[in-house]
Amino acid sequence: MSRTDAPRAATVRVPAKVNLALRVGPPDPDSGYHPLATVFHAVDLCDEVTVRRARSTSLQVTGPFREGVPADPTNLAWRAAELLRENYARTCGVRRPSPVAITLEKNIPVAGGMAGGSADAAGVLLAANELWGEELTPLDLQDVAAELGADVPFGLMGGNALGLGRGDELSTVLSQGELHWVFCVATAGLRTPDVYRELDRQLGWDGPPTPETSAARTAAPEPPQELLQALRTGDPHEIARHLENDLQAPALALQPGLQATLDAGREVGAVTGLVSGSGPTVALLCESREHAIDVSVGMAALRPEIQVFTATGPAPGARVVDTRH
């Protein structure tokens, strides 16, 4: 597409994620980052991100989960637009493109462990690149996404993926069929740094390494091979046997009430349940779309104080759904 044909506005749909497995290693003594081995799974619960040409950068937040989302430069979506403008000037040999006005329709829970903020940042990257003439390739966008945060590249990719390093070294995971979920949204969010700090406290990683522990502190977690094999079967019961989340215990310690949600999920017949990412959203795996509806009705009756919704995965990554010239 030539720059003269680029649209004035573009809307992108971008999915939430659940970590089917999340293995966390000890923090790096220099950077403080934890090495990960995780399996990302995108679901068809999506935010919509609209970007249009403007005289100055701005951000508007709408949708059912808009409360508490900053509409200022601290928002990762705003930072994504500015970083991409700088990248255009640096790598494309052109002036910084025009600013953009961003509108987020928030359908993904906030601070819920489903990477809603990262999804919005991925959506802005794709939409703004569309506005500015698609000068950057998908691989270029992945590189910019990795600068913004570990979950942002997967927002562009979608599907199922193995994430290593900080979670941003992605490779496609083959799977069969669909997985059907019920998501239970807690009334209060959890900050990801708080959950990692609690993990460090629980495992004794919050102090300086000793000669006895230094070797273990440098070990990276292994990919969950049993889960990767189970995904090829498409059998939710086989997959359920291998779901795991190292952040579940610290999330439960910070919000003990999440255990009641997990227990209720088993009571109403879910195949299994786990905390999604750093929480506090609880993901209940079901046998089918119809079973997910039954489980959601049961959860709404047992836990009327929480929000419950169904979703299916794997879903595609960020994609342009509308442009206006």
Residues marked as catalytic: 17, 151
Return the amino acid letter for 27.
P
- 15 within 8 A of 45, measured Cβ to Cβ: yes
User: Are β-strands 9-24 and 319-324 bridged in parallel, bridged antiparallel, or unpaired?
Assistant: antiparallel
Q: Tell whether 182 is in a known binding site.
A: no
Cα separation, 152 vs 317, whole angstroms: 11
292 assigned binding-site residue? no
The secondary structure of residue 136, as a DSSP letter, is S
Residue 115 counted as an annotated binding residue = yes
Contact 54, 87 (CB under 8 A): no
Phi-psi region of 167 (alpha: psi -120 to 50; beta: other; left: phi over 0): left
User: Is 113 annotated as contributing to ligand binding?
Assistant: yes
Asked whether residue 119 is marked as a ligand-binding residue, the answer is yes
Check the annotation: does 167 bind a ligand: no
N- to C-terminal Cα separation, the chain: 13
Nearest residue to 158 (alpha-carbon basis) of 23, 292, 14:
14
**Residues constituting the chain:** 325
Q: How far is CA 48 from CA 43, 111, 120, in A?
A: 14, 17, 8
118 is in an annotated binding site: yes
Any binding-site annotation on 63?
Answer: no
Instruction: Pick the closest to residue 318 from 11, 101, 6, 2 (CA basis).
Output: 11
Gap between the Cα atoms of 210 and 8, Å rounded: 57
Contact 187, 179 (CB under 8 A): no
Kind and range of the H or E run holding 96: none
Please indicate if the annotation marks 316 as binding a ligand.
Answer: no
Q: How far apart are CA 258 and CA 18, in angstroms?
A: 16
Annotated binding-site positions: 109-119
Annotated binding-site positions for ATP: 109-119
